[in-house]
Structure 1
Amino acid sequence: MRYAKDHKEKTRQRIIEVAAQNFRERGFEGEGIASVMQSAGLTNGAFFNHFSSKEDLAREVVAYALAERLDFLNERLATGGNTRAYIESYLSARHRDNPQHGCPIASLVGDVSRRSEPVRDAFAQGMETLVNRLAEQWPELPAAQARGKAIALYALINGALQMSRATKDDALSEEILASGRAAAIAML
């Protein structure tokens, strides 16, 4: 059976998309190749037609998920949203409760720090792009100051989101989100 010319690239992309959701939900170590391939509707053997290793897939997933997050930020800002709306969306119960569809920084940062250099490089490049885009929200500030503000804002909202996910106490989780939102909005 002959496949369409772009079949291999579409299959590869499907694996990356499925792995991005699964890794954000369960972490790199909590998700295996077999589970990713099953979720993508493929056999384990097909994996090596697309990736040399799980680490190779992890690098692709980090790059893809951060690009997806940049698209989300750009969409928010382009449709009349502002940084405040982004913060409110980021530090929401919906984002907290759906890590598989959320920001890969909050879901994967701990795992990424223990991965190979190529995975960490992909993370750094994606993070750099996000920080630079967010820094554009303060055109009146000198570039270094706007960048510092963007880095601090990301650190704050990511930390708050991670903490809210880590607690089993619903009231405390909501309090963390609310406090994080208030502190982040005060930075604006």
Structure 2
Amino acid sequence: MKVSKETSAKHRDALVRAASRLFREKGFDKVGIAEITAAAGLTHGAFYTHFASKQALCAEAITRTSRRTAEAVKANTDWRAYVEAYLDPKHVRDRGNGCPYAALSGDVPRESALVKSAFSQALEGSIDALADRLGDRNGTAARERAILSLATLVGAVVLARTATDTGLRDEILSAAKAKLLGPSKA
């Protein structure tokens, strides 16, 4: 059955959204095409209408999710609130809906050149967005501050996710917040 361009675009979007969430939640290798299409409410065959391979879907999911992450950074006018939300235990627990860098950075080096390239380009865009967001237009200093901030945020969430003790998890998150925001005023 022939579907309209609008319906086809909705199907593609549903596939990318489902894949993005599942990849962040489980990793690239633990998610199959059948699971992605089921999560999107589509048949297995619908996948091949839109993508040549799972790797192509991985790359598009990375691009879209990281673009939304960069947009959120740009849109947020309160750096303190952004950091607090990012380093919140809810974000640590919700890997499937969280930051793609914290969820997938460990997986990407083992992926294809296509996936690595998409991730690297997305990372570059997020660093630029963060440098702009932090308000420094001082070239190298702005970029360095953005890289250090992003590395601190992502690293704290990655480490916090490995902690089985909530006390250790909270200690990691608090230390990162203090580094990025200064001592708590509470």
- TM-score by shorter chain over 0.5: yes
- Tell me whether 1:127 sits opposite 2:148 in the alignment: no
Residue 131 of structure 2 aligns with an amino acid whose one-letter code is A
Residue 56 of structure 1 aligns with an amino acid whose one-letter code is A
* CA displacement 1:42-77 (0-9 Å, x = unmatched): 121221111111111100110011011112212213
Aligned to 1:59: 59
Query: Which ranges in structure 1 are unaligned for 5 or more consecutive residues?
Result: none
Contact persistence 2:70–2:130 (CA under 8 A): no
Report the aligned-residue RMSD. Answer: 1.5
Aligned to 1:35: 35
Identity of aligned residues (%): 35
Residue 117 of structure 2 aligns with an amino acid whose one-letter code is D
Residue 68 of structure 1 aligns with an amino acid whose one-letter code is R
* CA displacement 1:108-165 (0-9 Å, x = unmatched): 1111121111211111111111111211245456210110110011111101100001
Aligned pairs for 1:89-128 (under 5 A) are: 89-128=85-124
- Match of 2:5, SS state, is coil
- Tell me whether 1:163 sits opposite 2:159 in the alignment: yes
- Match of 2:76, SS state, is helix
Aligned to 2:176: 180
- Match of 2:58, SS state, is helix
- Match of 1:113, SS state, is helix
Report the Cα distance in structure 2 between the residues aligned to 1:136 and 1:43, rounded to whole angstroms.
42
- Match of 1:28, SS state, is coil
Aligned to 2:145: 149
Report the Cα distance in structure 2 between the residues aligned to 1:109 and 1:172, rounded to whole angstroms.
22
TM-score by length of 2: 0.92
Residue 74 of structure 2 aligns with an amino acid whose one-letter code is N
Report the Cα distance in structure 1 between the residues aligned to 2:15 and 2:137, rounded to whole angstroms.
42
Report the Cα distance in structure 1 between the residues aligned to 2:15 and 2:130, rounded to whole angstroms.
29
1:87 deviates by 1.2
Report the Cα distance in structure 2 between the residues aligned to 1:43 and 1:141, rounded to whole angstroms.
48
- Match of 2:47, SS state, is helix
- Match of 1:142, SS state, is coil
Aligned to 1:68: 68
Report the Cα distance in structure 1 between the residues aligned to 2:86 and 2:155, rounded to whole angstroms.
11
Contact persistence 2:15–2:36 (CA under 8 A): yes
